[in-house]
Amino acid sequence: MLGARGYPRPQLRRRGWASLDGEWQFALDRDAAWTRPADVEWQTTIRVPFAPETPASGIGDTSFYRACWYRRRFEAPPLTEGERLMLHFGAVDYGATVWVNGVVAAQHEGGYTPFAADVTDLLVANGPQTIVVRAEDDPHDLAKPRGKQDWQLHPHAIWYPRTTGIWQTVWLERLPATWVDALCWIPSLEDWEIGLSARLGGRRREDLRLGIRLAAGDTLLARIIHRGV
């Protein structure tokens, strides 16, 4: 597992992570005819996280296609009792279905938001693990949020070339049995105070404690231990 250098998320930084960016197997599915990994006729490779329309992906195909497929194998890190392995996607445009070792691990809709799946129970005991991703994005569907992506074959006026498939980092994260899943800071200028809402993931325990340390540079502003999380 890699360290903190190049960490793909600005908050909740943890040491137990690894990037899955790089070369994946790839196939274009122009009419979205394939629905299962077993249907796919793998054609070439792609460099993730660059969209297949871009030269950096190694594909550079700006024609129309409704879906595309990705496949990659990886070695799972050793997990101690209670630890979980999360598979993260920074963004997949537009609808994504993710299989891990032949089982659906996640389905997500929205081309600009991250999503993740706990794949711990889908890992096989021996050999590499296999991820397959189906990304569907009908270029002629103007009802979906599309930013300034062009619906015509060639970009015109203020519109940009289309973006399909995986276009943000894919990564693994090893988590303890209980972890901080999300933070929300709540400032109040009137009262000159700040609140924090923390969402936990994983297994709950009676002895959980949440420690908060707030500093500005070298100046410690607050330090709190909250009991009974």
Q: Do residues 138 and 192 share a domain?
A: no
What is the domain-level CATH number for residue 41?
2.60.120.260
The structure tokens listed for 172 are: 């693994």
Say if 30 falls within a structural domain.
yes
160 and 183, same domain (yes or no): no
Is residue 1 assigned to a domain?
no
Q: Look up the domain containing 185 and give its range.
A: 178-227
165 within a domain of the structure (yes/no): yes
Residue 1: the pLDDT is 41
Q: In terms of domains, do 123 and 194 share one?
A: no
User: Could you tell me if 60 and 147 lie in one domain?
Assistant: yes
pLDDT at 154: 79
Q: What's CA 181's distance to the chain center, in Å?
A: 14
**Final residue belonging to a domain, choices 160, 175, 190:** 175
Q: Is residue 69 part of a domain?
A: yes
How confident is the model at residue 38, as a pLDDT?
A: 96
Predicted confidence at residue 157, as pLDDT, reads: 77
- 206 and 193 assigned to the same domain: yes
pLDDT along the chain (229 residues), means of 10: 64 90 97 96 96 95 94 95 96 96 97 95 94 91 74 75 91 94 91 89 86 91 79
Query: pLDDT value at position 228?
Result: 64
Looking at the structure, do residues 96 and 189 belong to the same domain, yes or no?
A: no
The last residue of one of the domains, among 158, 175, 192, is: 175
Q: Are residues 158 and 201 in the same domain?
A: no
Number of structural domains the chain divides into: 2
Co-location of 120 and 156 in the same domain: yes
Are 98 and 207 within one domain?
Answer: no
Task: Flag whether 45 is in a domain.
Answer: yes
Q: Is 67 in the same domain as 98?
A: yes
Query: Are 58 and 132 part of one and the same domain?
Result: yes
Q: Rounded to whole angstroms, how far apart are CA atoms 21 and 94? A: 19
| 168 and 209 inside one domain | no
